[in-house]
Every structure is written in structure tokens, then in C-alpha cells.
A = this chain, B = another copy of it.
Amino acid sequence: MALLPKSITKVIEMFESLPGVGPKTAVRLAFYLLRLPQERLTRFGTVVGKIKEDTVICAVCFNVADRDPCDICSDSRRDQSLLCVVEQAIDVGAMEAAGNYKGLYHILGGVLDPLNNVGPDEIRLDELIDRLAKGKFRELLIATNPSMEGEATALYIKKQIERRMDQVKTLENLVIPRLAHGLPIGADIEFSDAITLSRAIEGRRKI
């Protein structure tokens, strides 16, 4: 936009660099900030600049956390025999919000994505298998996203573990389920895509 003060243009550019924020939203946000008292702006700036400051990566599960090991890993009330592997730290929040998983987590830090040069060494796969081998887990819930990359990663993880099952005793009886696919709650069968519906039929359950 022409003729805007430089300090506003800078903020607009900053907002535009965020995912999901287009040029118009960026302008709207910047003008919103202009109306805030200086005290709130300063706080906003400080808080953003310090987001990483008091944050550590848990050395056990690789979640972002206040302390290492994180609150989940050090919570003895959680089921220590269940492990759930997710793509990103942000997915832990969604799983916790679901409310019925009470085990531990392992954050992969990505998915296999050969087109973007992400191979098995770029995600925390060895760390996962090490952890499984050294621990006493009975179940590994694979909670990667239902995307092409997520599905491929899930399959790859399963195969890597199965290859080691003969040699490593702790992996022997490990059950490796995947999150169920099907109709999301509130969806319309009429409008659901064919793949989702075929998965919902495949996975049909007794009522």
C-alpha cells in the first residue's frame, strides 16, 4: 500500500510472513495494533521475542516444554506402556484435548517427504526405535496425519519395527495400531469424499 509509514509497513510484512495471513489481513492487524495502548504493544513484542526463551525440548519425547523431562514424561500417573507417535509438538495438544489417551508421546518432528528431501534421518525415527527397544511398551499408537506423507510414514515406522522384532526382545509383542479413519463427527455422508467414505465402510464397527 502506498504512502504508509515505514513502521507500519514493517509490521505488515511481518504479519504477511506468517502462515495463513494474507496481505489484507496483515494490513487489518497492523491497523488494529495502532489503536492499542503502547503498553500492550510492548507486551506483545516482548512476549513474541521471548517465546523460545523459557522453552526447552524434552529429551525423552522431544515435545516443547517448560522443563526437561516434560510434564507428560514425568507424570507417573500416565500409562508408561503406551506410546503415541505424532508429527509435531502441536499435535500433542489435540491428542490431549481428545481426553482419552493417557500414555506417553514421541514427537517425530516431521514426516517422510522424499520430494522435499525429508528422509528417515531427518525425523526422529532412530530415537523412536531406541526408546521402544529400551522401554517396556506394549502399544505404539501411530498418530501421523491422514495425508499421503503421514500414511507413508506410518507404514515405514511399522516396517522398521517389524524388521527388528526378531532381534530385540522388547519389540516382540508390541502392538502397532493407527488412528481410525472415517466420517468426522457432524459430517454429511452426502458431501463426504469417496476415500473417507470407503475408509468408513472398511472400518465399520458393530453398534
* Contact indicator A54/B7 (Cβ below 8 Å): yes
| A126 interface contact, C-beta 8 A | no
Q: How many copies does the complex hold?
A: 2
Q: Does A118 contact B (CB under 8 A)?
A: no
Task: Tell me whether chain A's interface is mostly helix, strand or loop, or mixed.
Answer: helix
- Selected interface stretch from A43-51, A161-169, A172-180, A184-192: A43-51
- Judged by a CB distance under 8 angstroms, whether A14 is at the interface is yes
Task: Identify the closest chain B residue to A24 (Cβ).
Answer: B94
Contact in complex: B96, A1 (CB < 8 Å): yes
**Interface contact B33-A96, CB-CB below 8 Å:** no
Assign chain A's interface to a size class.
Answer: 35 or more
- Are B1 and A31 in contact, with the CB atoms below 8 A? no
User: What sequence of 0s and 1s flags, for each residue 4-23 of chain A, a beta carbon within 8 Å of any chain B beta carbon?
Assistant: 11111011001000111000
How many angstroms between the C-alpha atoms of A13 and B43 in the bound complex? 12
Does A122 make an interface contact (CB < 8 A)?
Answer: no
Picked from B1, B30, B41, B52, the residue with its CB within 8 Å of the CB of A41 is B52
**List of 7 A-B pairs having minimum Cβ-Cβ separation, nearest first:** A45-B49, A45-B45, A1-B93, A31-B90, A5-B66, A45-B48, A7-B54
Q: A8-B64, A30-B51, A44-B45 are in contact. List 15 more A-B contacts (CB 8 A).
A: A1-B97, A3-B72, A3-B93, A3-B96, A4-B64, A6-B66, A7-B47, A7-B55, A14-B44, A14-B47, A18-B29, A18-B32, A34-B52, A38-B52, A41-B52
